[in-house]
């Protein structure tokens, strides 16, 4: 009887620690099941020099992009997002600016990695996400050097859409 109690207690503590570290949400599993794991969540890019980017996702397929500079939020606008085939495609409202990223969850973090579109008939500018290379053939975008003042570790240019992989942390 005592052995069962010890085993039960150990399992209970493991479950408790797991829920405490991830908030009880397995984003990777939910994403694999096709759930919109971004809706209603806020994500912060790494901080550097008292700055960071914050993306605040809504349930209607939009998110608000804020660049927080020394505590003052600078409005970068409203973007639309779509989850399809393991990609998050984002487009800035009213500009035609868009980008697509693969996303990978680990606990309460998500890493966005840009990839290249497969151009249709040599027209890279108008290649749509539906015509992107299959997942197993996607090539991450080449790393670009951002302005040192606005670049946290990982090379993300703050205040702009990521051009290299960046890991966001869930915020409240």
Give residue limits of the domains in the chain.
Answer: 25-171
Give the mean pLDDT of 56-82: 93
123 pLDDT exceeds 60? no
Judged on CB neighbours under 10 Å (0-12, 13-18, 19+), 142 is exposed
Mean pLDDT of the chain: 73
Q: What is the pTM of this model?
A: 0.64
Rounded to whole angstroms, how far apart are CA atoms 35 and 68? 29
For residues 98 and 90, is the Cβ–Cβ distance under 8 A? yes
Specify the 3-state DSSP secondary structure of 68. strand
134 pLDDT exceeds 70? no
pLDDT tens for each residue of 34-50: 889 999 999 999 998 88
172 pLDDT exceeds 80? no
For residues 63 and 81, is the Cβ–Cβ distance under 8 A? yes
Rounded to whole angstroms, how far apart are CA atoms 4 and 45? 44
Report percent pLDDT > 90 for the chain.
40
143 pLDDT exceeds 60? no
Q: Does residue 172 or residue 21 have the better pLDDT? A: 172
The DSSP annotation for 47-58 comes to PBTTEEEEEEE-
Rounded to whole angstroms, how far apart are CA atoms 3 and 111? 42
């Amino acid at each position: 009887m005592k052995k069962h109690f010890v085993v039960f207690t150990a399992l209970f503590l493991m479950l408790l620690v797991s829920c405490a570290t991830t908030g009880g949400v397995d984003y990777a599993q939910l994403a694999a099941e096709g759930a919109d794991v971004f809706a209603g969540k806020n994500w912060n890019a790494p901080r550097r020099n008292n700055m960071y980017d914050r993306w605040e996702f809504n349930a209607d397929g939009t998110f608000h992009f804020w660049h927080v500079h020394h505590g003052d939020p600078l409005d970068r606008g409203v973007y639309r997002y779509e989850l399809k085939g393991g990609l998050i495609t984002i487009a800035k409202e009213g500009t035609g600016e868009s980008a697509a990223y693969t996303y990978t969850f680990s606990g309460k973090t998500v890493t966005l990695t840009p990839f290249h579109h497969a151009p249709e008939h040599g027209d890279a500018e108008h290649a749509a996400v539906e015509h992107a290379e299959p997942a197993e053939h996607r090539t991450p975008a080449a790393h670009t050097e951002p302005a040192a003042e606005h670049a946290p570790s990982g090379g993300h240019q703050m205040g702009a859409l990521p051009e290299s992989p960046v890991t966001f942390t869930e915020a409240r």
